């Protein structure tokens, strides 16, 4: 619920929504502009020499209005999304980077509904206003750190302003467009005028093609920029990626997040004298040895630093090591990672692993020239028996109507073999019976009481050494607020597509997409934010799909932390070139159609009856990996029909559906 507004009629209107978030108006070149101003809590207490960085936030098409403050005015629409929404929910705009704490001034103007694209005078007015912000002497905005960000139409406003002229570009330090419309003109203006750019888009955006953002970023970098542009492209998220992802004030989605990045971006920095970043692996001597069993190796590059700006990429590389199995890094924008086995088995092979870390700052496309390296040796103990390793599999959550499940364990021994497997219950409600407990995959039945059941898996090797691991089974007393309509996985070239739909979705927080090579041990490969509407459809692209067979499932987590797992679906890579799906089936009025293909361009959607007669035909344009649109079939008579998609290159696929 939006907080009540206190009205004050004056030339410069101040209406407090929180202690620092106020409604304001200003005049600029004959235009009266309504906007929100946020001054952080430390605005008046910082030393008088300090200057705050400034964010100018541009809203989307739905938040346009008359710019009028107070009761009856439409300025409050600005609070519905983006950074203003975060502020209205209590964001402090105070951030820490490498021990340095700073906070932002935020200015959020409202554009009139008479305009279809953002006009430059709105941004110029905010920059002029920022120059006048003054409290306690010379405490002012930092005019070398003025940032422009916006989402959807507002993202297009970022492109439009920064590309409009050298004069405009030189007023801002950086831009952060989120799912932006394609309103830019000459992107070489950004390149030539030292404007730092970090753009965001989702591959499955059905509203604005990701190709517009990719073209903009590539165009900037093709113009030999002083500051290279960055593009972050989510594999999922649809169009509205701003509230939950781009403007996230934590480090859940990005490290650094956009605010920490802004703290270190400044027009006062000279790319010609840029100092290279320094890679540093925390606590890692050049060589060290780990004794088996070793299930994963944790690596921490957070000690890496840049002397004059900020590190934006951490590049981990396994340079060498035992062959015969693959390793996996969660690498790219985070300083910490795990080196893990991704094939079937438990624990690392014996041998020496050479690991390298390189880092990159925002002022250059070059990585650190002197990379940090570490040599990690996985070895048997110097004497005695090497203990085996046990893996009891992933924890499970069961809905009230489920009373039995199967658990999957796996063991490994380095200097012998696994002689026995055994399972035992160690805690939980007085229920739950283990069948075939001397195998690696027993069945557990009689899980009738709600609570958390914990079972221990033990493997014993031929020398009597033991390895242990536990698995938890949470039996719910109530059903989680979500029903899966379907879950499907399909292969598309080198990618695997996971699509699902939900109904009765209430209080849901997010989905973890989990993958397994063996159907037993699952790893989270992505997170999709829940929409919390009555009926929702979701997509996720596994761009690093395993060769051969893969198993997928979803872990749905609600806002209270409770969670459950979906069913598991199996897919085998076949290098399929086209995927066509429809939902719901049977259908009453609107049929949702998903077309996924490696090729883009125009395509025909054709609906025929069982006699082959064309009853509806449309032409669509596909510019991204997945295209989802609705087609109205309410006019059709009840019966069975066929839906065909056909590309101009000859690709074609047909699916059936039923009209109710």
Identify the pLDDT of residue 135.
Answer: 55
Identify the pLDDT of residue 99.
Answer: 82
Instruction: Read off the pLDDT of residues 342-397 as tens digits, 9 standing for 90 and up.
Output: 554 578 889 998 888 888 888 876 555 567 888 999 999 999 999 999 989 878 88
Q: What Cα–Cα distance (Å) separates residue 222 from each residue in 77, 112, 170, 227?
A: 38, 35, 20, 12
Task: For 62, list phi and psi in degrees, rounded to 5.
Answer: -75, -20
| Fold agreement between 287-379 and 389-475 | yes
Identify the pLDDT of residue 25.
Answer: 95
What is the homologous superfamily of the domain 287-379 according to CATH? Immunoglobulins (2.60.40.10)
Q: Give the range with max mean pLDDT: 464-468, 519-523, 550-554.
A: 464-468
Give the separation between CA 214 and CA 202, rounded to whole angstroms.
11
Q: Which of 136-145, 229-238, 411-420 has the lowest mean pLDDT?
A: 136-145
Identify the pLDDT of residue 9.
Answer: 30
> For residues 600 and 239, which has the higher predicted lDDT (pLDDT)?
239
Identify the pLDDT of residue 367.
Answer: 54
Q: Which residues lie across from 141 on neighbouring strands?
A: 52
Identify the pLDDT of residue 15.
Answer: 37
Identify the pLDDT of residue 341.
Answer: 66
Identify the pLDDT of residue 476.
Answer: 80
Q: Express as a percent the part of the chain with pLDDT over 70.
A: 91
Q: Give the range with max mean pLDDT: 261-270, 285-294, 499-508.
A: 261-270
> For residues 171 and 49, which has the higher predicted lDDT (pLDDT)?
171
Average pLDDT score, the chain: 85
Taking the whole predicted model, whether its pTM rises above 0.75 is answered as: no
Spell out the domain ranges in the chain: 15-269, 287-379, 389-475, 577-660
Please check the confidence at residue 77 and state whether its pLDDT lies above 90: yes
Go through 588-623 and write b for each residue having 16 or more CB atoms within 10 A of its CB, e for each that does not.
Answer: eeebbbbbbbeeeeebebbbbeeeeeebeeeeeebe
Instruction: Read off the pLDDT of residues 385-434 as tens digits, 9 standing for 90 and up.
Output: 999 999 898 788 887 888 999 998 989 999 999 999 999 999 999 999 99
Residue for token pair 């590190």: 311
CB 641 within 8 A of CB 657: yes
HSE value, Cβ hemisphere, 13 Å, CA-based, for 371: 17
Confidence of residue 16 (pLDDT cuts 50, 70, 90): very low
Confidence of residue 568 (pLDDT cuts 50, 70, 90): confident
Please check the confidence at residue 195 and state whether its pLDDT lies above 90: yes
Say whether domain 577-660 belongs to CATH 2.60.40.1930. Answer: yes
Give the separation between CA 460 and CA 464, rounded to whole angstroms.
6
Confidence of residue 142 (pLDDT cuts 50, 70, 90): very high
Which CATH class name applies to 389-475? mainly beta
Q: Give the range with max mean pLDDT: 271-285, 307-321, 409-423, 630-644.
A: 409-423
CB 73 within 8 A of CB 34: yes
Which CATH fold would you assign to the domain 15-269? Rossmann fold (3.40.50)
């Amino acid at each position: 619920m939006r907080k009540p507004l206190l009205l004050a009629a004056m030339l410069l209107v101040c209406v407090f929504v929180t202690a620092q978030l106020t409604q304001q108006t200003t005049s600029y070149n004959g235009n009266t502009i309504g906007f929100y101003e946020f001054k952080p809590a430390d605005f008046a207490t910082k030393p008088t020499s300090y200057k705050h960085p400034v964010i100018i936030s541009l809203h989307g098409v739905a938040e346009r209005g008359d710019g009028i403050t107070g009761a009856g005015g439409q300025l409050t629409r600005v609070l519905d999304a983006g950074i203003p929404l975060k502020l209205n929910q209590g964001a402090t705009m105070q951030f820490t980077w490498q021990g340095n704490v700073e906070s932002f001034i935020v200015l959020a103007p409202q554009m009139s509904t008479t305009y279809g694209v953002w006009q430059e005078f709105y941004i110029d007015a905010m920059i002029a206003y920022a120059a006048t912000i003054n409290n306690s002497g010379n405490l002012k905005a930092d005019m070398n750190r003025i940032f422009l960000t916006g989402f959807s139409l507002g993202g297009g406003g970022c492109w439009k302003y920064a590309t409009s002229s050298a004069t405009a570009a030189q007023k801002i330090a950086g831009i952060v467009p989120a799912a932006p419309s394609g309103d830019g003109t000459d992107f070489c203006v950004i390149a030539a005028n030292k404007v730092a750019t970090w753009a965001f888009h989702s591959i499955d955006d059905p509203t604005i093609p990701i190709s517009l953002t990719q073209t903009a970023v590539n165009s900037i970098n093709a113009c030999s920029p002083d500051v290279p542009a960055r593009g972050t492209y989510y594999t999922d998220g649809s169009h509205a990626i701003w509230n939950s992802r781009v403007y996230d004030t934590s480090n859940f989605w990005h490290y650094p997040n956009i605010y920490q990045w802004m703290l270190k971006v400044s027009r006062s920095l000279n790319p010609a004298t840029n100092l290279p970043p320094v890679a540093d692996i925390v606590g890692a001597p050049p060589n060290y040895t780990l004794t088996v069993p070793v299930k994963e190796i944790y690596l921490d590059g957070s000690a890496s630093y840049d002397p004059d700006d900020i590190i934006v990429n951490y590049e981990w590389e396994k340079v060498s090591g035992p062959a015969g199995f693959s390793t996996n890094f969660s690498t790219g924008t985070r300083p910490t990672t795990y080196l893990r086995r991704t094939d079937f088995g438990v624990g690392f092979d014996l041998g020496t692993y050479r690991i390298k870390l390189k880092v990159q700052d925002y002022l250059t496309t070059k990585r650190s020239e002197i990379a940090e390296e570490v040599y990690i040796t996985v070895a048997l103990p110097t004497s005695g028996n090497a203990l085996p390793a046990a893996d009891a599999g992933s924890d499970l959550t069961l809905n009230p109507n489920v009373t039995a499940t199967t658990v999957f364990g796996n063991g490994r021994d380095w200097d012998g073999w696994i002689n026995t497997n055994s399972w035992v219950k160690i805690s939980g409600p007085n229920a739950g019976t283990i069948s075939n407990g001397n195998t690696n995959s027993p069945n557990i039945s009689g899980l009738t009481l709600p609570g958390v059941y914990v079972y221990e898996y033990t493997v014993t090797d031929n020398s009597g050494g033991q390895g242990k691991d536990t698995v938890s089974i949470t039996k719910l007393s109530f059903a989680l607020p979500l029903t899966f309509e379907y879950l499907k996985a399909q292969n598309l070239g080198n990618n695997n597509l996971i699509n699902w739909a939900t109904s009765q979705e209430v209080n849901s927080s997010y989905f973890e997409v989990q993958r397994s090579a063996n159907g037993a041990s699952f790893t989270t490969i992505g997170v999709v934010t829940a929409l919390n509407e009555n009926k929702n459809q979701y997509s996720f692209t596994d761009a690093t799909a395993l060769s051969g067979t893969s198993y997928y499932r979803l872990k749905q987590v609600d806002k209270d932390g409770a969670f459950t797992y979906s069913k598991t679906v199996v897919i085998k890579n076949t290098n399929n070139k086209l995927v066509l799906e429809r939902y719901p089936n049977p259908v009453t009025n609107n049929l949702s159609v998903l077309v996924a293909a490696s090729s883009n361009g125009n395509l025909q959607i054709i609906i025929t009856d069982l006699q082959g007669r064309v009853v509806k035909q449309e032409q669509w344009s596909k510019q991204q990996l997945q295209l989802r649109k609705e087609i109205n079939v309410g006019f059709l008579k009840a019966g069975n029909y066929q839906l065909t998609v056909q590309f101009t290159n000859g690709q074609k696929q047909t699916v059936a559906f039923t009209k109710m």
